[in-house]
């Protein structure tokens, strides 16, 4: 009788353990299906798309020469703007910017990803350094900004100590699921809903926001665009 009871308890515990393991396994698979986890490469399961200079459309203050605010040397994009600069066109009423717009890969469905290595010099603040453009009722699905020495999604801080070091940025936009994920150096630092919209594209550089510093600068290299298989 005692042996029978012990066997029953052991069997029940074993089944509970197996169920817990299976739950963790399927949760992990679900996280991978959504675009990755904290471990490994967030580009796993994605296909890199061809990206050339023709895909890089630079925007800069309309009254200046491009070379006064943008350069591309030794594989590094350097983008600068001042708080008193003009917009990128005479017709625009937006804040000053020097940005690269990824052209040729506008999308409205599927799972897309931006990758780049970024660098923000100390002193740069109140600026958007990367955005996913296009939304419903908003201009953007995502804005990554720098305030002080912090990286933020819009105004919500997600990572400290962003100045004066190279970091790897991966942004995944799952249009069908309505989700956006941000990875810094392969670690998930933000996951949230998108803002809808019918068409999207990626941008990087410097776009003045509230409480902006006089000089804003970011540097980028290794830009890649991916699409989920």
pLDDT digit string, tens, across residues 167-185? 999 999 999 999 999 999 9
| In the block, residue with structure tokens 């803002």 | 195
Q: What is the pLDDT of residues 173-222, one digit of tens each?
A: 999 999 999 999 999 999 999 999 999 999 999 999 999 999 999 999 99
Cβ neighbours of residue 67 under 8 Å, at least 6 residues apart?
none
User: Is the confidence at residue 2, as pLDDT, over 70?
Assistant: no
Q: What is the pLDDT of residues 27-54, one digit of tens each?
A: 444 444 444 445 579 999 999 999 999 9
Distance CA 71, CA 206 (A): 13
Q: What is the pLDDT of residues 121-171, one digit of tens each?
A: 999 999 999 999 999 988 999 999 999 999 999 999 999 999 999 999 999
| Beta-ladder partners of 184 | 169, 187
């Amino acid at each position: 009788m005692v042996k029978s009871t012990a066997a029953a308890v052991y069997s029940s515990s074993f089944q509970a353990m197996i169920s817990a393991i299976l739950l963790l396994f399927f949760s992990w698979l679900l996280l991978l299906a959504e675009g990755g986890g904290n471990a490994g490469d967030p580009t796993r399961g994605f296909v890199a798309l061809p990206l050339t200079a023709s895909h890089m459309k630079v925007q800069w203050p309309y009254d200046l020469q491009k070379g006064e605010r943008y350069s591309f040397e030794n594989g590094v994009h350097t983008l600068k703007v001042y708080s008193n600069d003009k917009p990128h066109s005479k017709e625009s009423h937006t804040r000053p910017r020097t940005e690269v717009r990824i052209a040729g890969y506008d999308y409205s469905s599927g799972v897309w990803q931006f990758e780049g290595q970024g660098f923000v010099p100390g002193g740069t603040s109140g600026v958007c350094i990367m955005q996913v453009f296009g939304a419903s009722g908003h201009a953007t699905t995502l804005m990554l900004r720098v305030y002080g020495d912090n990286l933020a999604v819009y105004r919500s801080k997600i990572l400290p100590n962003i100045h004066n070091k190279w970091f790897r940025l991966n942004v995944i936009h799952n249009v069908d699921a309505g989700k956006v994920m941000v990875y810094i150096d392969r670690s998930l630092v933000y996951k949230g809903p998108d803002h809808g919209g019918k068409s999207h594209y990626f941008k990087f550089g410097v776009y003045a926001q509230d409480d902006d510093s006089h000089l804003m600068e970011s540097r980028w290299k290794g830009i890649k665009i991916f699409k989920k298989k």
